[in-house]
């Protein structure tokens, strides 16, 4: 009997597993105070204001610094705690089909595949964990890598416990794995909305990066197409020149009928077939050596 193969599946969070930025519920909850002081009408505007307030810091560090400052007494987020972030995380709008995605894979493959799911986010770990609890996906996701805040004795956010920057994502993904960076990432699947540097590295190391975009959004679709891996033919005797990137650009729909689910299943089916071929090869080798 073929033993289960291991498939490692890692996802970005904001605009991949969610319809909107994870901070939307935070902005909505404190909207009156934030809007009055900063005139911010969206998360992006709050991000922009944070960059202006802390120009020497990059996102997400500038946003975290702004939130810490605003959490102090008299601030627009006064008294904000990790528990409150967890509660607000339960209000994050899930992407279409994401609640069916992991259970659907488990049901389809059963004992054939051992899945290891992870999330890597530039956002806040308590909000991601609140989302996972609310959607029931905490039963499937084994690892969450995201930024986090420290608290004072009253439970109010007062500092940075950990920050995940864009340039750290590839190495954070690698920390989930049991392999060294110079080993092939096959079979490994990474799904994100906009992450070309990580797409590139995952592709180079043999994994399958997938870029998703909101359905019926032509601007987002165009931006996503820029993430694609490009193969440029060259004259003989030279082979094609490849610019690594996403292997697939697909509408953000994780339901079993959607292209993301079907594409992931196709990859898994290929890996199962490879594993079976290898098993038969070594079985024949063993039998031949006994003759």
Q: Coil, strand or helix: which one is 146?
A: strand
Q: Indicate the fold that domain 5-281 takes in CATH.
A: Rossmann fold (3.40.50)
Q: Please check whether residue 52 is in contact with residue 44, taking contact to mean a CB–CB distance below 8 angstroms.
A: no
Q: The tokens of 228 are what?
A: 């694609």
Q: Coil, strand or helix: which one is 55?
A: coil
Q: Coil, strand or helix: which one is 21?
A: coil
pTM: 0.88
Query: Quick one: CA torsion of 41, 45, 46, 48, rounded to 10 degrees?
Result: -170
Residue 102: name the closest of 145, 132, 147, 144 by CA: 132
**Rounded Cα–Cα distance for residues 265 and 185 (Å):** 17
Tokens 């992870």 belong to: 118
Q: Concatenated DSSP letters for 251-273?
A: ES--STTSHHHHHHHHHHHHHHH
Residue 66: name the closest of 194, 74, 247, 77 by CA: 77
Q: Please check whether residue 16 is in contact with residue 212, taking contact to mean a CB–CB distance below 8 angstroms.
A: yes
> Would you write out the chain's pLDDT as a tens digit for each of its 291 residues?
568 888 989 999 999 999 999 988 988 888 766 666 666 567 777 777 887 888 888 878 888 999 999 899 888 889 999 999 999 999 999 999 999 999 999 999 999 999 989 999 989 999 999 999 999 999 999 889 999 999 999 999 999 999 988 777 766 666 655 543 444 445 789 999 988 888 988 888 788 999 999 999 999 999 999 999 876 555 455 555 567 899 999 999 999 999 999 999 999 999 999 888 887 776 776 666 665
Which residues are registered as beta bridge partners of 145? 120
């Amino acid at each position: 009997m073929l033993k289960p193969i291991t498939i490692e599946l890692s996802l970005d969070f904001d605009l991949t597993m969610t319809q909107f930025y994870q901070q939307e519920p935070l902005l909505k909850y404190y909207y009156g105070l934030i809007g009055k002081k900063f005139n911010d009408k969206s998360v992006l505007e709050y991000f922009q204001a944070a960059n202006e307030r802390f120009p020497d810091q990059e996102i997400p560090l500038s946003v975290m610094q702004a939130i810490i400052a605003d959490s102090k007494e008299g601030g627009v987020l006064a008294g904000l705690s990790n528990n409150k972030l967890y509660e607000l995380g339960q209000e994050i709008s899930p992407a279409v089909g994401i609640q069916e995605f992991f259970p659907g894979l488990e049901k389809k493959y059963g004992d054939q595949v051992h899945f290891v799911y992870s999330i890597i986010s530039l956002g806040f770990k308590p909000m991601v964990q609140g989302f996972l609890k609310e959607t029931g996906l905490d039963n499937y996701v084994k690892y969450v890598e995201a930024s986090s805040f420290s608290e004072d004795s009253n439970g109010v956010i007062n500092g940075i416990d950990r920050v995940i920057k864009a340039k750290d994502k590839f190495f954070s993904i690698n920390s989930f794995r049991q392999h060294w960076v110079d080993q092939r990432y096959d079979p490994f699947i990474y799904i994100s909305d906009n992450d070309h540097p990580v797409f590139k590295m995952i592709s180079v190391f043999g994994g399958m990066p997938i870029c998703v975009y909101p359905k019926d959004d032509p601007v987002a679709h165009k931006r996503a197409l820029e993430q694609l891996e490009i193969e440029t033919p060259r004259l003989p005797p030279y082979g094609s020149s490849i610019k690594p990137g996403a292997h697939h650009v697909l509408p953000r729909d994780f339901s079993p009928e959607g292209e993301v689910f079907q594409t992931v299943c196709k990859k898994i089916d290929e890996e199962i077939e490879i594993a079976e071929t290898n098993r038969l090869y070594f079985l024949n080798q063993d039998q031949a050596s006994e003759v």
